[in-house]
Structure 1
């Protein structure tokens, strides 16, 4: 049978959610009998208002299907959908099928390590791959507990969303999980190298392929330390303990994504186990990824979007919290500066292209189209806007609203409007006046960034909204001001097309610390001053902001490539030796040098 299927439409999901309540899943998998397929038996207990619906199923073949004890004809399965006619009240569906091991990073992925020939398996159910592992009602708002029973080769370890034990060689029994959306269900099975620890009553573990075991051993102390620091901070900020039992972090081969936030069993691409010397920036990236996936345990896992149109909020929240927590409680206090280099322009350039879109309100009429507008705007811009919101509301209100949201929808589903309702209520209770409706309409529902620039002749900051997406957004940010050889910062609020900024300055760098979301473009005098000033800047955040100002100016054809080369030539000798090649050199050599005067490449190589 084909694994091709029809994408689930939003109206179909709404109808199915109105008809059904899933009580639990019981899933039996035999991973030991064949290298290309595995045996799967799914029992789904659910209540229904009665009537027709369908189950999602993408098998190789079907052995048996029963609904409430009566046989269901497997031949009715078409395009990944099994039609069933439910009774009013309790129902039980049993599906026995042969499922495919996959090798495309989806479903139950089976990989053979070329280093030693050992096979490893891991589950990736996002976004519509769960039906290739077990029969299910595959949509985020039909959550249910899962109980897994797994047969595996005798030398394998099996880890899942809930704690499990090996009852005899090759047989693994797992506790009933907390309610999960189908796309969070996972198993990690194989002859893994395992490392265990514990923190604050939470069992912790790491796993990797045996061929990189020594490298995981070297990284384990740092990984566990970051994990423990992040748990402590999330517990402090949210006041809600981690709710999913064990916390396993699996580094798996041939992974399509950076990581996946499966409750209790987070999967990471295994190049994040460092097998050679790496830069500090790469370690920061790994630390923020660990914190990002942990943030999801609350925002995304404990409370899950009702539909895919709020997937941006899932990722934006985790992006903001992951960077914030990493910077505040781990050894990587410079995480925000590194993020500014690594992620800021990803979002800004996407937001300035003709293909830009709003952060929220994209509709996502079916599960596949939900990913069409999922990009740097969803991550980088969304995170920046939540950071602005937190600064505007204040931490007390921001986290009070988040905690209310978690408690109201614990182990359930919610929408952006539910979360903003909690923030509204928290602000009202604290006496904080803030117009969330206007904030939402201007920042989340309108595409494109404003452009900010300083006019030294008129001593004003100019704000220009994107011509195709008119907006009236207020920006509060720090400006870095160079007077002589001394840099100072001044906070400014720009709420009109021109805002006075009366300063005596050789250079003005707008929004170097990413306080707002805008394309900040330096004036000509500032660009000239940076040729001497940038090499002297010791503040990593300000340095990152200068480069982002220059990159925004370049994207908007507002800076001469010869000037950029002059700044780079002067500054590269004192830039971070390890991370400059990752942070600025690809842009300089890929974009600026081809348009710069002859000899620019040689000058940069010499620098």
Structure 2
């Protein structure tokens, strides 16, 4: 199942692929589908190689007109190809398996109308689950799909959908049709796609910068169409097209642009060329927070950016995955801030993405942005906060370093030179150096080839009159990752105005290098109320406030007139609590005292998550329950005090439901659910009902009977997932044992249901319910890793790790388990080390909170 980089290099040196003709028959029942692949490729005459194909059965393999012995050449994962000619044609006729894991060709049955919906997810190595393929990004080719499916379905791929042709009857007697797509442009196999089923669509179009009419489509299941706000999706798409075509200097490279919301999706979205798939939760059937609406907008723009960076120009090997994802992450935020209504997107970036990056960069598994990727297992666990968020943060720093105009000039030249080909990091850096005049070799070595995050502090001296006599920026690094990096950053001075608002009164931008950098431009200025390093969030570094600034921030955090500097102070306080530098209870108090005044929905969302994490893991366990109860009471007070119908009201009610556990608190949750005490303006819709019901299940107030009744009321796929979470949350030994058996001991639970069940299993007020499963976890982990697909195994290994049992016994058991892992289980070791670090960090924070 694995592929090493050395194997990929050897195969790329041996073969050059021209085209794939793929014929799929989707009318053979609910387990397998037919797949016939014709591959045209050149090779070194007389050489040998292999093609990837994860099959249920291989019926025929023909190489250059000669039938090969299937038993000799096919093992269900690879097909060996010997004595190749200079020009070759390979035919592979096989049966492939439908998946319920979100990998390969995923099959879903809508409980509302029993209709079947299919979609592919191929990144990283799963196009081989649908057709025979040289599965690596640098062996690009054209792909021609021909698909036979039920006649009432719609079939979507990378090329425009052709008119179907009747093809007789299927095995079940229903009518069949065949869709014969035109070949795609030259693509890597992981961005090809097939989506099939009775999807419904809203259609529109736009005019590209080169004058072409680009058809647009937004698709969803029939039972969700009433909730699909397609016009908003089209609006964002048009804004993104205009922005990216102007910035990149290259017209949109494909013939059409479809966006499809698909069920049981594992990620936020996938950048299939011209046929992007999205998480179905982005079809809003209930009221969602403004943060979720903004997140969907960022995701739409992220995937659109990939049409250029990733699809048009593709990394040669997965070690440059970071650049693929980081570029899309940076550009989507830039486009959102400059071309859409979400002008505060850099605040969201600072609160969400930077927090993710800093967390990942302090794990024992941290790695350079340009990570060594030795095989597929390496890359599958590398979709992390380094690859996405730190990389995007460093690109933002690079833009500050070379200037945005120079950066985009280099990017435009990069697309012009490398369209439809594969590249490495050096290809992009070459163009950026030419455009900016800066030598980026040293910058690249320090930022991209080393791991770890620096910390910046201000050292300020004052004269007798209160004027600044000395000002230096001090930079430090942890011992394991000692690199001291150059930073382009801003320093802001903030003062309280006559209205009591903290406003910036002075700003200086400079290059910082070494352990200490003097800032002579600030000498002689009066001491401000607050000094903010990394103002405007240009640099990637943790910051610490000086003592005077910290006092001001603690008293006046809610008084910042702008959201971004306030968010940077929030981030500094969060880092200090996570690092055990300040008591966790102080951070809890800071949140509860200031969150009501927070204007940014995404920041409120992040703060409530951090509140939950702090209460669950970082506060002194002896005080935890009392603090959770007090926090729940505060959140209910905040909800009642929030403006009727406001975003904050909804978020505070949800936060209250998560933490509610006393009789009176659960009474309040019950009264909201039954409608007897609903805050003015709050809509208790289907999704909120499930959150309230689950709160009552966790609190012991509701049972399986109540869950079944709610599911009967909401007999949808979303309702089924919510019911799975609620069922796994039943706070009894029997309930937890049943959930464990369904997740770990059985192997037929679909990916989305498993994800929901794991979330419910770990949601407890009394952690003693989880104690019997710690030993079971370590006993089962290696078998899970060996027998499940990567996506399913990772969900279990991360989600069921006994992190709630924050004690030495958990650390000891983890160490013992690590000692049993062989060298070929490097990815499992990495996940386990990350799990262990969470418990060790929690213990350090708890010690600081005593």
TM-score by length of structure 1 reads 0.94
Tell me if 1:332 matches 2:336. Answer: no
Equivalent residues in 2 for 1:68-79, closer than 5 Å = 68-75=64-71, 76-78=73-75
Aligned equivalent of 2:140: 143
Supply the distance in 1 between the matched residues of 2:115 and 2:398 (Cα, whole angstroms).
49
Aligned equivalent of 1:205: 217
Moved more, 21-30 or 364-373: 364-373
Give the C-alpha shift of residue 16 in structure 1.
1.1
The question of whether the paired residues in 1 share the 8 Å contact of 2:368 and 2:451 is answered with yes
Aligned equivalent of 1:255: 265
Q: Deviations over 1:395-438 (max 9, x none)?
A: 332122222222222111111111112222333xxxx3x22011
Residue from 358, 364, 375 that aligns with 2:368: 358
Structure 1 residues 559 and 491: alpha-carbon distance in aligned structure 2, compared to 1, 3 A threshold: farther
Supply the distance in 2 between the matched residues of 1:119 and 1:79 (Cα, whole angstroms).
26
The question of whether the paired residues in 2 share the 8 Å contact of 1:192 and 1:208 is answered with yes
Aligned equivalent of 1:371: 380
Give the C-alpha shift of residue 47 in structure 1.
1.3
The question of whether the paired residues in 2 share the 8 Å contact of 1:531 and 1:570 is answered with no
Supply the distance in 2 between the matched residues of 1:69 and 1:417 (Cα, whole angstroms).
42
Give the C-alpha shift of residue 284 in structure 1.
0.9
Residue from 451, 454, 461 that aligns with 2:473: 461
SS at match of 2:48: strand
Aligned equivalent of 2:723: none
Aligned equivalent of 1:81: 78
Tell me if 1:235 matches 2:239. Answer: no
Residue from 491, 497, 507 that aligns with 1:490: 507
Q: Deviations over 1:230-274 (max 9, x none)?
A: 001111011111111110001000111111000010011110111
Residue from 31, 52, 55 that aligns with 1:59: 55
Supply the distance in 1 between the matched residues of 2:595 and 2:386 (Cα, whole angstroms).
30
Residue from 6, 9, 25 that aligns with 2:4: 9
* Larger helix fraction of residues: 2
Aligned equivalent of 1:172: 179
SS at match of 2:419: coil
Give the C-alpha shift of residue 71 in structure 1.
0.4
The question of whether the paired residues in 2 share the 8 Å contact of 1:300 and 1:314 is answered with yes
Q: CA RMSD in A?
A: 1.9
Moved more, 399-408 or 237-246: 399-408
Unaligned runs of 5+ in 1: none
Residue from 446, 449, 456 that aligns with 2:453: 449
Q: Deviations over 1:284-335 (max 9, x none)?
A: 1101101100111111000111001111110010000011111110111111
Moved more, 588-597 or 368-377: 588-597
Supply the distance in 1 between the matched residues of 2:377 and 2:572 (Cα, whole angstroms).
36
Supply the distance in 1 between the matched residues of 2:365 and 2:481 (Cα, whole angstroms).
12
Aligned equivalent of 1:473: 485
Give the C-alpha shift of residue 137 in structure 1.
0.9
The question of whether the paired residues in 1 share the 8 Å contact of 2:615 and 2:627 is answered with no
Aligned equivalent of 1:118: 115
Unaligned runs of 5+ in 2: 167-176, 208-212, 462-469, 639-850
Residue from 282, 287, 292 that aligns with 2:302: 292
Give the C-alpha shift of residue 567 in structure 1.
3.1
The question of whether the paired residues in 2 share the 8 Å contact of 1:512 and 1:544 is answered with no
Give the C-alpha shift of residue 572 in structure 1.
2.1
Moved more, 383-392 or 299-308: 383-392
SS at match of 1:43: strand
Give the C-alpha shift of residue 146 in structure 1.
0.7
The question of whether the paired residues in 1 share the 8 Å contact of 2:488 and 2:509 is answered with yes
Supply the distance in 1 between the matched residues of 2:602 and 2:184 (Cα, whole angstroms).
42
The question of whether the paired residues in 1 share the 8 Å contact of 2:591 and 2:607 is answered with no
The question of whether the paired residues in 2 share the 8 Å contact of 1:528 and 1:563 is answered with no
Supply the distance in 1 between the matched residues of 2:432 and 2:494 (Cα, whole angstroms).
38
Tell me if 1:437 matches 2:404. Answer: no
Tell me if 1:395 matches 2:404. Answer: yes
SS at match of 2:186: coil
Greater Cα radius of gyration, structure 1 or 2 = 2
Supply the distance in 2 between the matched residues of 1:68 and 1:565 (Cα, whole angstroms).
69
Moved more, 572-581 or 82-91: 572-581
Aligned equivalent of 1:108: 105
Q: Deviations over 1:330-374 (max 9, x none)?
A: 1111111112222211110211233221111x2211122123343
Give the C-alpha shift of residue 82 in structure 1.
0.8
Residue from 564, 583, 586 that aligns with 2:606: 583
Give the C-alpha shift of residue 581 in structure 1.
4.8
Supply the distance in 1 between the matched residues of 2:311 and 2:58 (Cα, whole angstroms).
31
- Which 4+ stretches in 1 moved above 6 angstroms? 596-599
Tell me if 1:194 matches 2:201. Answer: yes
Give the C-alpha shift of residue 565 in structure 1.
4.1
Q: Deviations over 1:574-594 (max 9, x none)?
A: 124855552202212421685
Structure 1 residues 566 and 33: alpha-carbon distance in aligned structure 2, compared to 1, 3 A threshold: closer
Q: Deviations over 1:475-516 (max 9, x none)?
A: 222233223444224234322322345451222222243210
Residue from 423, 432, 448 that aligns with 1:414: 423
Q: Deviations over 1:374-413 (max 9, x none)?
A: 3111111100111111222223321222222222221111
Supply the distance in 2 between the matched residues of 1:369 and 1:257 (Cα, whole angstroms).
18
Give the C-alpha shift of residue 546 in structure 1.
1.4
Supply the distance in 2 between the matched residues of 1:59 and 1:38 (Cα, whole angstroms).
10
Supply the distance in 2 between the matched residues of 1:319 and 1:101 (Cα, whole angstroms).
31
